[in-house]
Amino acid sequence: MDIIEKLLDKIMIQIDRTMPKSRIIPKDKAAHIAGGILIGMGLTLVTQPVIALIGVIAVGIAKELYDLMYNEFVEKKHSVEGLDVLATVLGGSIGIGAVLLIRYLVS
């Protein structure tokens, strides 16, 4: 888990450097997109693209359910939004597409 967190931190630092101060994509949504890309790529490498997409959707929903439960039982810290799931799925779709494109170009 530590490796994934470090990788996401590096991605977020790069996003911070390249994004203007008046963000078009909020930092939270950019994090969901980045996470979705990694999850989509990873799942596509080990399974079929449709299964990978279903996995990305499941992870996006599970993250929001986790946030909901955390807010309910620990402390109100995380926002729970449907747009977060959509951002994760968007990122996952990009990741899946990237792997498929690379496979096509290599073959």
pLDDT at 67: 85
For the chain, counts of helices (H) and of strands (E): 4, 0
Residue 1 has pLDDT above 60, yes or no: no
Q: Are 66 and 58 in contact (CB under 8 A)?
A: no
The SS3 assignment for 42 reads helix
As for how many domains the chain has, the answer is: 1
Per residue in 28-76, pLDDT (tens digit) is 888 899 999 999 999 999 999 999 999 999 999 999 998 888 877 777 7
Of 63, 67, 100, the residue nearest 55 (C-alpha): 63
pLDDT at 15: 65
Q: Which residues 6+ apart lie within 8 Å of 46 measured at CB?
A: none
Domain that holds residue 48: 2-106
pTM, rounded to two decimals: 0.77
